[in-house]
Homo-oligomer: A and B are copies of this chain.
Amino acid sequence: MQLVTIPEIEAAAQRVAGTAVRTPLLRQSWVSGELWVKPESLQPVGAFKIRGAHNAIAALDEAERRRGVVAYSSGNHAQAVACSAQSFGIPAVIVVPDVTPRIKVEATLGWGAEVVEVPIAERESAAHAIAEARGLTLIPPFDHRDVIAGQGTIGLEIAADLPEVDTVLVPVSGGGLAAGVGTAIKARCPGARVYGVEPELAADSAESLRAGHRVDWPMSRRARTIADGLRAQPSELTFAHLKAVLDGIVTVSEDEIRDTVRELARRARLVAEPSGATAVAAFLHRSGELPGGRTVAVLSGGNIDPALLAELLA
C-alpha cells in the first residue's frame, strides 16, 4: 500500500492556507517538563477536521467540486465539510443519524449545508445513495489520502515552529490525524518520536498495533468513553500509516481526560472537548510511558457540551 507522501502534505498546506488557522504552539508553564500545546480547537468548526475536509474538497477537479459534496457524520467532520463547501460556494449534504442532538444539526445548518436525517444503521448507505443520485462526491472522515494529507499539515507546522521537538502526542480514532501528523514529523524531524493516545475504553488501536493487525472492538465497547470523537477505528489505509509512523500508543483513563479538560480551561485558557484533551492527558498522567523531552500535544478539538464543561470546572 502506498502511504501518503510529504509532497502530498505540502500540497495540502498550500490548499488549506487561508481557510485553516495557522495555530501557534503554546508553551505551558504550569506543568513539569516541557510541553507545547497545538490548539486545533481554534480552527473554524472548532477542530482539526477542517484541514482534511478542505484539502479533499480543494483537490477535486473544478467540475466535480461544483456538483457538490456529501458526508456522513454527526460530529466535527460534518461541520468541516459544510464549512469548506460554504467557502467554495458549493452544495453540501450531511447525512446524520436521526438521534443527533438538535444543537449539532443546527451547527451544520449554520454552515449552509443540507442535513438529511436517517436511521443510524442507514447512514453510510444513504450517503452513498445520495452521492450516486445527485452526482456528489463523498468526503470520508479519515479513509482518504487527501484527508490524511490535510491533517498532516499540523505536523509540518509543528516541525517548522519547533524543529528540535523530541515527542509528539496525537489522539487516535480513525487514525487520519495520527497518520498525517506522524508522516510529516517523521520526515521533517527524524529524531522525534510520535505517540498515539487513546482512551482506555476505546483502545482498539493500541491492541491492534500490539497484535500487528487490526483488532475490531464492537461499537458498544468503544461507545463507553466520554471522548466521543475517538470512537472510530482505523481503516486499512490509516492503520498502515500508524504501523509505519507511530512509536507507540498510550492510553488514558476517563478521570484523566476529565481532569485535563478542567486543567486546560483553568491553566491554559483553552476549551477542549474530551477527545481533544487526551494527548495533553497523556503528558500529564502517563509521562512514565513516554520518552519526554520537548513535547508537543495536539489539542484536536474544543466542541464540548457547555454543561459538561461547567460541571468539570465547578
Contacts and interface: CB of A to CB of B under 8 A. Distances in A.
Contact of A269 (B46, B262, B307): B46
A84 to B, nearest CB: 12
Interface string A275-314: 0000000000000000000000000001100110111011
Interface in A30-86: 30, 39, 41-42, 44, 46, 83
A265 interface: yes
A110, A266, A311, most chain B CB atoms within 10 A: A266
Contacts of A23: 24
Interface in A9-39: 21-24, 26-27, 29-30, 39
A307 B314 contact: yes
Interface of A: 21-24, 26-27, 29-30, 39, 41-42, 44, 46, 83, 110-111, 262, 265-266, 268-272, 302-303, 306-307, 309-311, 313-314
A111 B29 CA distance: 9
Nearest to A44: B29
14 contacts: A21-B24, A29-B83, A29-B110, A39-B42, A42-B269, A266-B306, A269-B270, A269-B272, A270-B270, A270-B271, A271-B271, A306-B314, A311-B314, A314-B314
Given A110-B30, A307-B313, A269 B41 contact: yes
A269 B271 contact: yes
Contacts of A272: 269
A39 B39 CA distance: 12
Given A26-B42, A42-B268, A269-B302, 11 more contacts: A23-B24, A24-B24, A27-B44, A29-B44, A46-B269, A269-B271, A269-B303, A270-B271, A307-B313, A307-B314, A310-B313
Nearest to A37: B42
Contacts of A42: 24, 26, 39, 268-270
A309 B313 CA distance: 8
A21 B26 contact: yes
4 cross-chain pairs, A with B, having the tightest CB-CB distances, nearest first = A269-B302, A310-B313, A269-B271, A310-B314
Q: Count this chain's copies in the assembly.
A: 2
A278 to B, nearest CB: 16
Contacts of A111: 29
A27 B146 CA distance: 25
A313 to B, nearest CB: 4
Contacts of A83: 29
A156 to B, nearest CB: 16
A242 to B, nearest CB: 27
Contacts of A262: 306
A23 B23 CA distance: 8
Contacts of A22: 24
Contacts of A21: 24, 26
Contacts of A271: 265, 269-271
